[in-house]
Chain A
Amino acid sequence: MTAEQGVFIFTSFLTLFSGYMTVTRTNLVHSALFLVVALFGVAVIFVLLDAGFLAVVQVLVYIGAIAILMIFAVMLTRGNVTDEQESVSPFFGWALLLAALFAFALIVMLGQWQDVAAQAPALSAERNTVAELGAALVSPEAYVIPFEVASVLLLAALIGALVVARPQKKKR
């Protein structure tokens, strides 16, 4: 076992464990903190896949947003953040069945795919992946339209939020 495999196995277990804790804790803030660990585990796996940019963005976007999530958890629950009820939904059995079905389908599909065990070609050290990603995002041959549509959507959401939150102007 190489060191990289050791890190992968440890991180995977940590991520799965934290994911489980996230959905089962009755204390909302604890759930949020376990979510941080789970998301960080995913970032570590991105690093192991040599996707440094994705790892950093994962930490920046997701873990950065958790702080806001925690604030909402504290502010919306007033004082005691612990939920008395069981946090597992009564439809747990059905959800488990569906998840198992999907997992089974995924394993079958991946099993039929021949390149599943193929080694990805190594990136040469000279390639500037970040610059290539940036160029791809604004190149007409690549992703410029999805990129722009996404930004327009976000802008619309931003303006919508402002319109809703804006105090009504009083008539003089």
Chain B
Amino acid sequence: MSFWQDPIGFLGEIIRNFLFNLLPEAWATFIFTLLSVVIVASFGLIIVIFLIWVERKIAARFQDRLGPNRAGPYGLLQTFADIVKLITKEDVVPEKADKLTFNIAPILSVVAVLLIWAVVPFAPGWIGTDLNVGVLYIAAVGSFGILSILMAGWSSNNKYALLGAFRAVAQLISYEVPMLITLMVPVLLARSMGMMEMVQDQDVWFIVLAPVSGLIFMVSSIAEVGRTPFDLLEAESEIVAGYHTEYTGMKFGLFFAGEFLHAFTVGVLFAIFFLGGWRGPGAEEYRLLGMVYLMLKGFLGYFIVMWVRSTLPRIRIDHMLALNWKFLTPVSLSLLVLTAILDKIYGETALRIPALLAGNAVVLLLGYLIMRAVSRRQTKERPTFKKRPVAKPA
């Protein structure tokens, strides 16, 4: 195994040999594992510094501005300046706040996102831990994110924070339903819940086999992150800043960084589940290339998130819930059943792609027709008022 084919594996082997020669086996294993955990976790934390710059730059372009361009070349050092500012700010804790809960919540919100990176397959053989229940694990650690928002909102002892937290829980728990159901579609197609197997099985990208599922996954993930158009949890014109109203300095920074990292993680997960993960020409041979492919595909997903964010306005809370329960959930459920049946019948034949594509198209069309009929009926039932004579100026 040469350096260029597998740089991380190569360096890892050197460090491993060094540790095992120096220390007793139990300690060496412990330190080596700890080292790998630190590397995977800090990858996420370091990339977020870059992500904030990317997002501000691209959002600026969407709005016909230049974005940060003063600190460093192309404003690259802007985020570092912001970090220094956030760290030097006074740390204010409200007097009536629940101190411990208040301080744990921002940490938990970042940890909940970082935990997902433990099962992200970067390249062949490069994965934190290849759990055989990887997909379920992603769903499980998501519940810590919800918990952290609720903890932040409740412990602030501020009614706007609490309202924001309640909205957050209503939204996140609702959108978890279609997200988890659509995640079952790639699991069905790959016949495995392990992340590595999921990528290895995508000779045909799953976006081709399940385009509508991919779309629903993207929409419900944006809602899970709580970004525009689903940013009701921090709607500043209604509830100040939502659950993080009372947070200052770096504690607010942690919520902020957690959100950005989560948005990028969503892009990466979309790439893994629907765009073939690290697969691409030469990725098996040169593993670094696989990681480059994954990051490129992840940034494509992240770009869609940013695109939606700077294009659409915030939706109303009843629309948000209706979209989830009356459209996304039924469509994703019927897609799951249809995919299971079609993949069982045509899974091994050449008809697999056209059959699944046709199934997706039919479900989307039916969903659209039902939605249109319902919305027409609702328009008809809208209360009408008697026409009154218009006051005319004398």
- Residues of chain A at the chain B interface (Cβ within 8 Å): 2-3, 29-30, 33, 36, 52-53, 56-57, 59-60, 63-64, 66-68, 70-71, 74, 128-131
Nearest residue (CB) in A for B168 is: A67
Stretch at the interface among B140-148, B243-251, B273-281, B370-378: B140-148
14 additional contacts, CB 8 Å, given A67-B147, A74-B162? A3-B30, A30-B98, A52-B131, A52-B133, A53-B133, A56-B133, A57-B136, A66-B143, A66-B147, A67-B146, A67-B150, A68-B169, A68-B173, A70-B154
In the complex the two chains form, what is the Cα distance from A56 to B144 in whole Å?
13
In the complex the two chains form, what is the Cα distance from A129 to B147 in whole Å?
30
Nearest residue (CB) in A for B145 is: A67
In the complex the two chains form, what is the Cα distance from A5 to B163 in whole Å?
44
Total A-B residue contacts, Cβ distance less than 8 Å: 62
Q: Which residues of A contact B193 (CB under 8 A)?
A: 130
Q: Which residues of A contact B162 (CB under 8 A)?
A: 74
In the complex the two chains form, what is the Cα distance from A131 to B191 in whole Å?
9
In the complex the two chains form, what is the Cα distance from A33 to B150 in whole Å?
11
Q: Are B143 and A59 in contact (CB under 8 A)?
A: yes
How many residues of chain B have a CB within 8 Å of chain A?
Answer: 26
Q: Which residues of A contact B141 (CB under 8 A)?
A: 59
A sample of 18 inter-chain contacts (CB < 8 A) reads A2-B26, A3-B26, A29-B101, A36-B147, A52-B132, A56-B137, A57-B136, A57-B140, A59-B141, A59-B143, A63-B140, A64-B143, A68-B169, A68-B173, A71-B166, A74-B162, A130-B133, A131-B192
Q: Which residues of A contact B133 (CB under 8 A)?
A: 52-53, 56, 130
Q: What is the minimal beta-carbon distance from A129 to any residue of chain B, in angstroms?
A: 7
In the complex the two chains form, what is the Cα distance from A39 to B147 in whole Å?
14
Q: Are A63 and B147 in contact (CB under 8 A)?
A: yes
In the complex the two chains form, what is the Cα distance from A130 to B131 in whole Å?
11
Q: Which residues of A contact B26 (CB under 8 A)?
A: 2-3
A33-B101, A68-B173, A130-B132 are known contacts. Are A63 and B144 too (CB-CB below 8 A)? Answer: yes
Q: Are A74 and B173 in contact (CB under 8 A)?
A: no
B139 at the binding interface (Cβ < 8 Å): yes
Q: Are B154 and A60 in contact (CB under 8 A)?
A: no
Q: What is the minimal beta-carbon distance from B146 to any residue of chain A, in angstroms?
A: 5
In the complex the two chains form, what is the Cα distance from A52 to B98 in whole Å?
34
Q: Which residues of A contact B144 (CB under 8 A)?
A: 63
Q: Are B136 and A60 in contact (CB under 8 A)?
A: yes
In the complex the two chains form, what is the Cα distance from A3 to B28 in whole Å?
12
Q: What is the minimal beta-carbon distance from B240 to any residue of chain A, in angstroms?
A: 19
B151 at the binding interface (Cβ < 8 Å): yes
Q: Are B154 and A59 in contact (CB under 8 A)?
A: no
In the complex the two chains form, what is the Cα distance from A36 to B144 in whole Å?
10
In the complex the two chains form, what is the Cα distance from A166 to B136 in whole Å?
33
Q: Are A53 and B146 in contact (CB under 8 A)?
A: no
Q: Max chain B CB contacts within 10 Å: which of A67, A68, A74, A128? A: A67
Cβ 8 A contact of A129, one of B30, B98, B132, B146 = B132
Q: Are B139 and A60 in contact (CB under 8 A)?
A: yes
Cβ 8 A contact of A56, one of B30, B101, B136, B150 = B136
Q: Which residues of A contact B150 (CB under 8 A)?
A: 67, 70-71
